[in-house]
Amino acid sequence: MGMSPSIQKLEANEKEFRDYLAQLQADLANKSAAESAKLKDKITQFYADNKYTDAKDLVSGMNYDFMHQAEFSLENMQSIIDAISKSVFANGKSPDGAKVSKDGTAAAASSLGPEVGEMANLELYIAGQVFDVLSSVILSFGTSTTINFNTNIQSKPLGYGMQMFTAVAADSYEAQAFFDKEYIHEYLYLYDVRFSAQQAKAEMTQTLIELYEDQLAAFKAREEDLLDQLVKKTLTDAAYATSNAIYDKLIDAVEKKVEQLKIAALTVKS
């Protein structure tokens, strides 16, 4: 559970305030109960639609954040994400609320090869991706005096066969007895990161397709440039014919390669 400084101080010293926070947590958990079911359905649907049958858990969990409106900060969330990332990718201690699957991390390391398989190499990248998604959601709820109950569910590819699923719920409460009519913002994060070797292979194939398609566009632009030079008489007929013939062959070869890769991508999912 993350807390802004004034809330942390009160929580440590006053039982009445601890009871109050426990009630807020129970209230938000009750309001957002449906989001947990929706998140599970989204995960099931994603792997069913893509026909990835080998997905394994990397990390999953649930965390609460309490923030006094005057002290709004994303530091608590960032520290939780950093701790989760270290527990997955650098064998660190799992933070409270997080569950790390050693089977999943072992499968990822084995499938991704020695360069990426050194999972610590991914730690900063993945932590940054997760922070970007969650912080964007939280900031979209607003940080003014009051936040209406709000929820958001996201599915985002992290690359290398990893997919992140998150649900965020937020609400605000006027804490008259403790903060003189100022508000406490409460956030609930549900998160589930999974790895699929089939997805990793599909993503690598898709990256190759995109690179070849970029190359194809460049070759076609080069042919247009050659034609323009021919029209302007800055290129001889012979030079144009031989150069254009080379680019025709390159374009034909790349188009065939793209088609092969697209078939391969479909095969991975079948």
Which helix (H) or strand (E) element contains residue 247? helix 237-269
- What pLDDT is recorded for position 115? 46
Contact 150, 141 (CB under 8 A): yes
Closest of 243, 242, 250, 260 to residue 217, by C-alpha: 250
Q: Which residues of the chain fall below pLDDT 50? A: 115, 117
The model's pTM is 0.75
Largest CA distance in the chain: 90
Q: Residue 269: what pLDDT?
A: 59
CB 194 within 8 A of CB 257: no
Q: What is the pLDDT of residue 223?
A: 93
pLDDT for 123 equals 67
Give Cα separations from 114 to 6, 15, 202 (angstroms): 46, 51, 19
CB 65 within 8 A of CB 186: yes
Supply the pLDDT for residue 11: 77
